[in-house]
Amino acid sequence: MHRRNFGRLLAAATFALAVTTAMVPAPVAAQTEKTITGGFDVGPGGFPGNFNPQTATAGFTWLNTYFEPLVIYTSDLSKLVGALASDFAVGEDNLTYTFKLVETNWHDGKPFTSADVKFTLELAKNAESGSIFAARLAGIASIETPDEHTAVVKLSKPNSAFLSVLSQVMMLPEHALSSMDVKEIAKSPWWSTKPVGTGPFKFTKYVSDQYVEMAAYDGYRGGRPKVDRLINRYFANPAAAVSALSAGEIQFTFAEPDDAKTFKGNDNFRVIEGDSYVVNYIGFNHRAGIWNDLRVRQAVMHAIDRNAIISSLFGGAAKLANCGYVAPQLVPKDLSDYAYDPQKAKDLLAEAGWEKINGDKPIPWLTYYNTPQVANVMAAIQAMLAQVGINVVPRALDVPSYNGIVRSEKWPDFPLVYAGLQNGPNPASLNVGLNAAQIPPAGNNIMRVEMPQLTEALNTAMAETDPAQADAKWQQVCREMNAQLPWSPMWVASRYGVVSGKLQDFFWTPAPGGGPFVSHPEKWDIAP
C-alpha cells in the first residue's frame, strides 16, 4: 500500500473521530453566585428522593435546611432546645406540653401560627396520611391553640420520648395542605415541586435522581443565608460521592471509614469524626432454640476479642459497648466487661451442653451491612467463635431482603444476625427493639427477646419524664442487658463526614437518621 494512500485513509479515520469529539467544549464556567453543593443524602443519615418529612426515616440533615421542627437537638445531641418553639414547658402532670411559638413566616409569606402546629401534629398522628410517626404520637390526647403563638399538647399518659420524637416532626403549612385528601397527601407532587417551609432555604428545583436545589430565603428570621444556593446532589453510592468531593465538584459528603482515612492530613479537606449512635451487636434469635442458655450467650461474649477487632479493623475508631448504650450517663460502673477469655467460653459451652444443643452444625449469620470493613469484622469473629466450637457462616443481604426475613417467622433463616440499633440521643429508642411487647408484628423486637426483668426496666424508664431521674432508670436497662445478654453488644463505631477546606462555618454531626440538630445552614459559607 502506498504511504500517501494510507495517509489519506488515516486522515479519513481521524476526521471521523474529530467529528465525534469536536463538539465537546470545556465545562461550564463557575457560577458567580455563592453555591454550596453537597452529598447531604449520602450514607446512613440520608434518604434520597423522599421529600415528605412525615414518611422519611432519615435524611433530616437536608430536610432541616427548609423545614423546621418545634424542638431540635443541639449540635452535640446532648439536649433539646427550641426551634419553631421559642420556649416550651412540661406541666407538673407530665402530660401537658406548652409551646410558645416564634414569629416567622412560611416561604410563601403566610404567617406561621399555632394552627399549623395543630394541623401538622394531627396529620403526623393520622396513619392514613402514611406518616411513620403515627404510633409514636398516638399518645396525644388533644392539641389546643389558645392563641396564634401558643400550642398546648396533652398526652394520655407520660412519655419520656415524646419531645425526642417531636424533634423529627417538621412543621407543615396548613394553608397549603389542608385542602388535600389525607390519603392522597403522601402521593402529592407538592413535596417535590413547591413545598414551603420556614427554614433558611426555600425549595427551588428537583431533578429526579440528580439533585435538589434551594435558594436563600431572604425573610429567614435568623438573617439571610450567606450563600445564595444550596444543592444536594444524589449519588449511587458513597464512593461516587467521594470521587466528586475529590474532584472538587461537591464540598461535603458522608464517607466510609476507609475513604475518610484518605482525606486525613490533607489540608484541602476537613474530616469530621463522631459517634454513630448505633450499637452493633450479635443478635440471638430467641426463638431459634439454640441460645436459650445464658451460658451460651456469655460464651459468645468471652470468645470474641473485641479490643483486638476495634484496634485492628476499626483503627481504634469505635467504643466498646457492654450494653445497648455508650453515653456515659446511661452506663453504670458495675457492668461485666466480658473480657476475652476463650477458655472460659469453652468451659461455659461445655457446662451448657453445647454439643447437644448445636455442636459444630453451621449457623447462618445474617447482616445487612455490605461494606468491606464489616465483611472483615465478621470473618474475624467467625474465626474466634470457631476456636471455641461455634460454627457461624456469615451472609450479607440487601436491606429489603434482610428486613423481609427477620420480620417474618423464618427462624432457621436467621438464628444469628450482625446488626445495629440506635442508642441515642433518645435512650428510649432501644425500647422498640427489646421490649417483649414489641415483638413483631406489634413492634420491632426482631430478635424476639422476652425477658420480663428487661421489659420491666424498659417500661419503668419509658414512663419516667423527670430528666434527673431518667438516667438512673436507663442505667437499670443497661444493667439488665449486660446481665441477661438479649444480644451480644459489641461496639459503637465512629461515623465520618468530609468537608472541603473552602467551606466556612459549616456544622455537621453524624446524627442518627441525619438528626435534625442545630446546624445553622444560614451561617454556612464558601470561599471563592
Partner 1 sequence: MLQYILRRAAVGLLMLLALTVLIFTLLRLTPGDPIDAYINPSVPMSASDLVVLRTRLGLDQPLPVQYLAWLGAAVTGDFGYSIQRGGEPVLPLVLGRIGPTILLMFSGLAISVVVGIATGILAAVRRNELTDLSLSTAAFVGISSPAFLTALLGLYMFAVVLRWVPAGGMLTPGAPFSVGDLMAHLILPAVLLSIGHGALIMRYMRSSLLEVLSQDYVRTARAKGVREFWVIVKHAVRNALLPVITLIGSTIGIAIGGAIFIESVFDWPGMGLLMINAVVRRDYPVIMCATLLTGACVILVNLLTDIAYAAVDPRIKVA
- Say whether residue 433 binds partner 1 (CB under 8 A): yes
> Phi/psi of residue 246, each to 5°?
-60, -35
Answer for which of 257, 512, 516, 521 binds partner 1 (CB under 8 A) is 512
> Of these, 90, 134, 163, 350, which contacts partner 1 (CB under 8 A)?
134
Whether omega for the bond prior to residue 225 falls within 30 degrees of 0, making it cis, is no
Q: 94, 150, 175, 211: which one contacts partner 1 (CB under 8 A)? A: 211
133 binds partner 1, rule: CB under 8 A: yes
- Under the binding rule (CB under 8 A), the answer on residue 361 touching partner 1 is no
**Angle of helix 342-352 versus helix 294-303 axis, rounded to 10:** 160
**Nearest by Cα to 117 from 150, 90, 141:** 150
Using the minimum distance from each CB to partner 1, give the nearer residue, 420 or 497: 420
Nearer to partner 1, 17 or 308 (CB): 17
141 binds partner 1 (CB under 8 A): no
Scanning 146-154, 210-218, 465-473, 520-528 for contacts with partner 1 by CB under 8 A, the matching segment is 210-218
The distance of closest approach from Cβ of residue 419 to partner 1 in the complex, given in angstroms and rounded to an integer, is: 6
Judged by beta carbon, residue 184 or residue 360, the one nearer partner 1 is 184
Residue 25 sits at the vertex; the CA angle it makes with 19 and 27, to the nearest 5 degrees, is 150
Binding residue count for partner 1, defined by CB under 8 A: 98
Please report whether residue 5 would count as binding partner 1 according to CB under 8 A.
Answer: yes
Binding partner 1 (rule: CB under 8 A), the pick from 398, 409, 466, 505 is 398
Does 425 bind partner 1 (CB under 8 A)? Our answer is: no
Give the binding range for partner 1 (CB under 8 A) out of 52-60, 110-118, 307-315, 343-351.
52-60
- The residue assigned the cell 425500647 is 431
| Residue selected from 94, 192, 262, 371 as contacting partner 1 according to rule CB under 8 A | 192
Query: What is the footprint of partner 1 within residues 273-312 (CB under 8 A)?
Result: 278
Q: What is the DSSP letter of 170?
A: B
CB of residue 243 vs partner 1: minimum separation in angstroms? 5
Dihedral angle of Cα 455, 457, 459, 461, to the nearest 10 degrees: -150
Cα 475 to Cα 477: distance, rounded to the nearest angstrom: 5
Among 227, 419, 462, 498, binds partner 1 (CB under 8 A): 419
Residue 370 CA to residue 372 CA, distance in Å, equals: 7
Does position 186 bind partner 1 by CB under 8 A?
Answer: yes
**Smallest distance, partner 1 to C-beta of residue 187, A:** 3
What is the radius of gyration, based on Cα positions, of the chain? Answer: 26
Among residues 219, 223, 372, 404, which is the contact residue for partner 1, using CB under 8 A? 404
Binding of residue 437 to partner 1 (CB under 8 A)? no
Report the alpha-carbon distance of residue 171 to residue 422 in Å, rounded. Answer: 24
C-beta of 47 vs 354, nearer to partner 1: 47
Distance in Å, CB of 74 to partner 1, minimum: 20
Please, which residues bridge with residue 320 across strands? Answer: 491
Distances from the Cα of 269 to the Cα of 240, 331, 360, 503, angstroms: 17, 35, 49, 9
Long-range pairs for 84-92: beta carbons < 8 A, 24 or more residues apart: 84/112, 84/117, 84/171, 84/198, 88/163, 90/163, 90/465
Nearest-CA neighbor of 39 among 25, 54, 22, 59? 59
- Pick the closer one to partner 1 by CB: 57 or 312: 57
- Residues 219-248 interacting with partner 1 (rule: CB under 8 A): 229, 231, 233-236, 240, 243-244, 246-248
Q: Give which of 71, 93, 114 is closest to 159, Cα–Cα.
A: 93
Question: Which 3 state secondary structure label does DSSP give 297?
Answer: helix
Identify which of residues 438 and 482 has a Cβ nearer to partner 1 in the complex: 438
